[in-house]
């Protein structure tokens, strides 16, 4: 049986006293909140620019492309200047990039703004995970599950802010301005004092080693589990509100609750995910989680009311919650690759699913409808169930 994702400790207050732990927590929460705010207002952009599902999918592909392009640059910059400093720099650009989305006057300029927004989302994601790994190594405690829970918490908070903004009649511009200024100021206030000194310049051999190599062998299957989970997570972010508007005739304010319900259960499950893995082990926990995600998607597909659809989304969040942390845990214990390279290879595939999921859902929805696209996600959840044995830690 593997170690739990969140280990017990003799002094549980140690985390709360560590400035670096708080800084990484703030970074994950900010990253999620900015992304969640955007996700909650996708229907506004769809309506303002009269976008069909395929056109919206292409725009979301611009966001995904920006993030994918940023991955190797973020890794190289983190190596040279430190993950802490790169995380903070990305946050300083990411906040105004959110506002730029609402100020774009044409579809083409919106695509450009989404590309920039995606670069900062992806680069900050890579850097803050590197910062989190440093904190874990220094504290000698597994805290990555909590960090990822804070991303989900931030995303849910951003989605909830979208619900409030719609109810109060705030335009996306005013909504994004408030989120960027308040959220960014609080997060940076926590992050900047903990940034530390810049690392020494890496030598040529270290710089030439790829930290984003694609997985092979068993790690390819581990990456497939991560891809299945993260593709669904990305689809929930950008399509849950649209799904509720179209299929259960929810209002804009009600539609914003879909991603909030998904994120809330994901946060709670990630915070307690270590207990689940400790009881069941990684293989059984993966099977159980995949089946819960499949059940939630089935409920959402068959739902004929807002309450039932929200229940489905909540189950989906519960099911996806620990799949990515379990994939990273398996990668860190790979017998053939050093932990850093193994985690990076699985993360590349996993984050690819997170970013490519929304545009793929859009294309499938254009061809066969939104319910068919969510059915595709349900099949991927079953694939994670079938591949559960590859997550066994030897």
Summarize pLDDT for 164-191 with one digit per residue, the tens: 999 999 999 999 999 999 999 999 999 9
Query: What SS3 state is found at 215?
Result: coil
C-alpha torsion angle, residues 287, 293, 296, 302 (rounded to 10): -90
DSSP 197: P
DSSP 214: P
What is the token pair recorded at 313? 């989304």
What is the token pair recorded at 324? 């990515």
DSSP 218: H
Residue pair 59/108 in contact by the 8 Å Cβ criterion: no
> pLDDT band at residue 272, thresholds of 50, 70 and 90?
confident
Can you tell me the distance from the alpha carbon of 391 to that of 220, in angstroms, rounded to the nearest whole number? 11
Domain ranges of the chain: 14-199, 211-394
- Check whether 8 has a pLDDT greater than 60: no
- Check whether 347 has a pLDDT greater than 80: no
User: Do 211-394 and 14-199 fall under one CATH topology?
Assistant: yes
DSSP 216: -
Residues 6 or more apart whose CB falls under 8 angstroms from that of 59 comprise: 45, 51, 107, 110, 111, 114
Buried b (16+ CB within 10 A) or exposed e, 321-359: bbbbbbbbbbbbebeebeeebbbbbbbbbbbbbbbbbbb
- Its pTM stands at 0.74
Tell me what pLDDT residue 320 has.
Answer: 93
Q: Which of 325, 308, 324 is nearest to 257 (CA)?
A: 308
User: CATH number of the domain at 14-199, please?
Assistant: 1.20.1250.20
- Higher-confidence residue: 263 or 204? 263
The 3-state secondary structure of 324-393, one letter per residue: HHHHHHHHHCCCCCCHHHHHHHHHHHHHHHHHHHHHHHHHHHHHHCHHHHHHHHHHHHHHHHHCHHHHCC
306-330: pLDDT as tens digits:
999 999 999 999 999 989 878 877 7
Can you tell me the distance from the alpha carbon of 383 to that of 388, in angstroms, rounded to the nearest whole number? 9
Can you tell me the distance from the alpha carbon of 170 to that of 202, in angstroms, rounded to the nearest whole number? 47
21-44: pLDDT as tens digits:
999 999 999 999 999 999 889 889
56-115: pLDDT as tens digits:
888 888 988 888 788 777 777 877 788 899 999 999 999 999 999 999 999 999 999 999
What is the token pair recorded at 56? 């919206």
What is the token pair recorded at 65? 């492309």
The helix (run of H) or strand (run of E) holding residue 80 is helix 53-81
- Check whether 364 has a pLDDT greater than 50: yes
- How is domain 211-394 classified at the CATH fold level? Growth Hormone; Chain: A; (1.20.1250)
Residues 6 or more apart whose CB falls under 8 angstroms from that of 115 comprise: 62, 63, 65, 66
- 185: number of Cβ within 10 Å: 10
What is the token pair recorded at 176? 């994004």
Q: Quick one: 383 exposed, middle or buried, by C-beta within 10 A (0-12, 13-18, 19+)?
A: middle
Can you tell me the distance from the alpha carbon of 240 to that of 264, in angstroms, rounded to the nearest whole number? 14
First to last CA, the chain: 8
Residue pair 31/94 in contact by the 8 Å Cβ criterion: yes
List C-alpha distances in Å: 45 to 38, 106, 143, 151, 371. Answer: 10, 11, 36, 24, 21
In whole numbers, what is the pLDDT of the chain averaged over residues?
Answer: 84
Q: Which residue has the tokens 């960027």?
A: 180
Most confident of 16-20, 125-129, 180-184, 278-282: 180-184
């Amino acid at each position: 049986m593997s170690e739990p994702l969140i280990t017990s400790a003799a002094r549980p207050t140690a985390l709360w006293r560590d400035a670096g732990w708080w800084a990484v927590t703030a970074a994950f929460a900010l990253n999620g909140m900015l992304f969640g705010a955007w996700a909650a207002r996708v229907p506004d952009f769809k309506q303002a620019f009269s976008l069909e599902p395929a056109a919206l999918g292409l725009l979301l592909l611009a966001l995904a492309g920006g993030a994918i392009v940023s991955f190797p640059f973020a890794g190289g910059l983190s190596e040279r200047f430190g993950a802490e400093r790169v995380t903070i720099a990305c946050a300083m650009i990411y906040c105004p990039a959110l506002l730029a989305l609402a100020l774009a006057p044409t579809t083409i300029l919106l695509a450009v703004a989404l590309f920039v927004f995606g670069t900062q989302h992806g680069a900050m994601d890579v850097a803050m995970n590197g910062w989190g790994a440093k904190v874990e190594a220094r504290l000698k405690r597994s805290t990555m599950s909590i960090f990822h829970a804070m991303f989900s918490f931030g995303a849910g908070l951003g989605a909830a802010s979208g619900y409030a903004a719609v109810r109060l009649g705030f335009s996306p511009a005013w909504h994004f301005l408030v989120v960027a200024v308040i959220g960014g100021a609080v997060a940076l206030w926590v992050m900047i004092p903990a940034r530390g000194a810049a690392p020494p310049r890496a030598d040529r051999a270290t710089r030439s080693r790829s930290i984003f190599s694609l997985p092979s062998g068993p790690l390819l299957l581990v990456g497939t589990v991560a891809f299945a989970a993260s593709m669904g997570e990305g689809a929930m972010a950008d399509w849950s509100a649209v799904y509720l508007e179209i299929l259960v005739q929810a209002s804009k304010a009600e539609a914003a609750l879909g991603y909030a319900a998904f994120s809330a259960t994901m946060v709670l499950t990630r915070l307690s995910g270590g207990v689940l893995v400790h009881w069941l082990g990684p293989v059984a926990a993966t099977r159980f989680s995949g089946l819960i995600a499949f059940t939630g998607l089935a409920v959402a597909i068959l739902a004929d009311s807002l309450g039932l659809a929200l229940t489905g989304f909540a189950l989906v969040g519960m099911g996806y919650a620990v799949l990515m942390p379990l994939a990273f845990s398996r990668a860190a214990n790979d017998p053939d690759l050093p932990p850093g390279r193994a985690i990076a290879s699985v993360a590349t595939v996993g984050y690819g699913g997170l970013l490519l999921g929304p545009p793929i859902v859009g294309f499938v929805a254009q061809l066969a409808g939104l319910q068919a696209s969510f059915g595709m996600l349900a099949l991927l959840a079953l694939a994670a169930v079938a591949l559960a044995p590859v997550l066994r830690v030897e």
